[in-house]
């Protein structure tokens, strides 16, 4: 039972444009959501989080939006940079259940 799903395995965008990564969840008990970035041969690194009492959290170029009624969250990266190319995982707490990841490629 995949409670957190990232339906797009990959996304390609041009440098300077917006990247939008999506994540859906099914468990209404999830109350805290996180995004992680992973480069090859490294562990995931924490990027940004949002509590279920908010619908938006912003940190520099990264903004996470939460739509509780749709059980959907998204990560916006603007402007996208080639160094953002990585696999992005969304995760939901409690129990830190991870999605399958989306490979983002930002082309120069």
Partner 1 sequence: DSGVTQTPKHLITATGQRVTLRCSPRSGDLSVYWYQQSLDQGLQFLIQYYNGEERAKGNILERFSAQQFPDLHSELNLSSLELGDSALYFCASSVQGNNSPLHFGNGTRLTVT
Q: Which residues contact partner 1 by CB under 8 A?
A: 6, 31-32, 34, 36, 41-46, 49, 51, 89, 91, 93-101
Smallest separation (angstroms) from partner 1 to the CB of 20: 19
Residue closer to partner 1 (CB basis): 49 or 85: 49
Q: How far is CA 89 from CA 17, 56, 59, 100, in A?
A: 20, 18, 17, 7
> How far apart, in whole angstroms, are the C-alpha atoms of residue 56 and residue 63?
7
Residue closer to partner 1 (CB basis): 41 or 70: 41
Which residues are 37's β-sheet partners? 45, 88
Smallest separation (angstroms) from partner 1 to the CB of 19: 19
């Amino acid at each position: 039972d995949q409670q957190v799903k990232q339906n797009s395995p990959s996304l390609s965008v041009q440098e300077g444009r917006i990247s939008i990564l999506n994540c859906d969840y099914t468990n209404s008990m999830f109350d805290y959501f996180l995004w992680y970035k992973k480069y090859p041969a490294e562990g995931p690194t924490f990027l940004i989080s949002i509590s279920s009492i908010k619908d938006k959290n912003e940190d520099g170029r990264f903004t996470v939006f939460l739509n509780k009624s749709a059980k959907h969250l998204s990560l916006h990266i603007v402007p996208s940079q080639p160094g953002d190319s990585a696999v992005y995982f969304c995760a939901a707490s409690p129990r830190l259940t991870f999605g399958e990841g989306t490979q983002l490629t930002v082309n120069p």
